[in-house]
C-alpha cells in the first residue's frame, strides 16, 4: 500500500496516532504529574445551597495546577460563591474515556444528587482511537442518563488537541482531525437535550494554546495553571447559564430512573 493509501485508512491513521502517542508518553525528559481532586466548598453557608458534580478525565483532575483554586472546576465554583454556598464535587478520574465515565462515574455522581452535572470527557477517546461511531452513542447514553436525573447538564467541548506540544508533528495533525470529529459528536448530542449547555473549547485552544507552551504544564501535555485560568474564563458564562436552567427546572423536578448499566436502553 502507498503512503497516501495508508493515511487514507482510518484504521491506519488511528494506529499511527496511538503509536506516536505511546512513544510520546514515555519521554524520560518530561515529568509525570499527579491527578488532583478539585472538590471543595465555597461561599457563605447562609447563601442558597448549590451542588455541582464534575465527571470526566484529567481536564477535571488538573495535573500540575498550583494553586488548585486555579483549576477550571474550582474557578467555576468560586465564580458562583458570591451568590451560592457551592458544594463542588469531582468524581473524575484521569485517563478516562467516555466508556469509563459510564461504567464508573455516573452512579457515584447521581448518588450525590447534584443540581448541576458537568461532563468533561472525549480527549482520551480522540487520542486513543475510539471511533466516532462508538463514541457518539456512548456519549449520548451518558448525557441522556444525566439529563433524566439532573436539572442542568454542562458539556465541555473538545479543544484542538493538535496544539499539544508533546505530540510529534505528524501526530498533531491527526489529533487535530480526530478531536474535531469528537467535538462535532458532542455538539450533535448536545442538540438533542434542552437542558444542556456545551462550551466551545476549540476556538480557545486553537487561538490561545497554539504555539504557546506556557499554556501547558511541564509534562507538555496537560493544561498548565495559566491554561486552566483560560478554561475558567470559558466556563464562567456556561455555569451562569446552567444556573438559570437549574432555577427554571428545579421545582417539581424528579429523577426519572436509576443510572443504567452501559449498553442498556
pTM (2 d.p.): 0.89
Among all chains, which residue has been given the C-alpha cell 476556538?
203
- First-to-last alpha carbon distance for the chain, in angstroms, is 42
- Model pLDDT, residue 25: 52
- Model pLDDT, residue 265: 32
d(CA 31, CA 206): 25
Name the pairing type of β-strands 48-56 and 116-120.
Answer: parallel
d(CA 238, CA 101): 21
Instruction: Kindly report the backbone phi and psi dihedral angles of residue 50, in degrees, each rounded to the nearest multiple of 5, phi listed first.
Output: -145, 125
Decide if 16 is inside a domain.
no
pLDDT per residue as tens digits for the range 8-59: 445 555 565 566 555 555 556 678 899 999 999 999 999 999 999 999 999 9
- Model pLDDT, residue 155: 98
- Model pLDDT, residue 225: 98
98, 136, 172, 255 from 194: Cα distances, Å: 21, 18, 34, 16
Decide if 92 is inside a domain.
yes
Decide if 242 is inside a domain.
yes
- CATH of residue 69's domain is 3.40.50.1110
- Model pLDDT, residue 94: 97
Q: Percent helix, strand, coil in the chain (nearest 5)? A: 50, 10, 35
- Model pLDDT, residue 16: 57
Q: How many domains does the chain have?
A: 1
d(CA 70, CA 64): 11
What is the number of alpha carbons within 13 Å of residue 178 lying toward its C-beta?
Answer: 28
Structural domain that includes position 186: 34-249
Give the 3-state secondary structure of residue 248. Answer: helix
Decide if 25 is inside a domain.
no
Helix axes of 225-249 and 72-80: crossing angle, nearest 10 degrees? 50
Enter the C-alpha cell of residue 167.
Answer: 505530540
Q: Taking the chain (265 residues) in consecutive chunks of 10 residues, what is each chunk's mean pLDDT?
A: 44 58 60 94 98 98 98 98 98 98 98 98 94 97 98 97 90 91 98 97 91 94 97 96 97 72 38
Decide if 18 is inside a domain.
no
Enter the C-alpha cell of residue 147.
Answer: 439529563
DSSP 90: E
Amino acid at each position: 500500500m502507498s503512503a497516501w493509501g495508508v493515511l487514507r485508512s482510518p484504521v491506519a491513521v488511528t494506529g499511527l496516532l496511538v503509536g506516536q502517542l505511546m512513544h510520546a508518553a514515555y519521554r524520560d525528559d518530561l515529568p509525570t504529574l499527579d491527578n488532583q481532586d478539585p472538590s471543595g466548598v465555597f461561599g457563605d453557608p447562609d447563601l442558597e445551597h448549590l451542588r455541582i458534580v464534575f465527571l470526566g478525565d484529567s481536564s477535571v483532575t488538573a495535573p500540575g495546577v498550583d494553586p488548585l483554586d486555579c483549576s477550571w472546576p474550582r474557578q467555576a465554583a468560586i465564580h458562583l460563591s458570591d451568590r451560592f454556598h457551592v458544594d463542588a464535587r469531582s468524581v473524575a478520574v484521569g485517563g478516562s474515556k467516555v466508556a469509563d465515565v459510564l461504567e464508573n462515574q455516573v452512579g457515584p455522581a447521581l448518588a450525590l444528587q447534584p443540581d448541576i452535572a458537568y461532563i468533561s470527557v472525549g480527549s482520551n477517546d480522540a487520542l486513543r482511537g475510539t471511533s466516532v461511531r462508538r463514541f457518539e452513542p456512548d456519549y449520548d447514553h451518558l448525557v441522556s442518563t444525566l439529563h433524566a436525573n439532573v436539572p442542568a447538564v454542562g458539556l465541555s467541548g473538545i479543544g484542538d488537541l493538535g496544539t499539544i506540544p508533546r505530540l510529534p508533528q505528524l501526530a498533531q495533525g491527526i489529533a487535530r482531525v480526530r478531536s474535531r470529529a469528537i467535538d462535532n459528536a458532542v455538539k450533535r448530542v448536545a442538540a438533542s437535550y434542552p437542558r444542556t449547555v456545551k462550551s466551545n473549547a476549540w476556538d480557545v485552544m486553537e487561538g490561545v494554546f497554539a504555539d504557546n507552551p506556557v499554556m501547558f504544564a511541564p509534562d507538555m501535555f496537560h493544561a498548565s495553571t495559566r491554561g486552566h485560568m483560560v478554561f475558567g474564563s470559558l466556563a464562567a458564562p456556561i455555569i451562569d447559564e446552567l444556573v438559570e436552567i437549574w432555577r427554571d427546572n428545579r421545582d417539581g423536578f424528579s429523577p426519572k430512573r436509576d443510572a443504567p448499566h452501559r449498553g442498556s436502553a
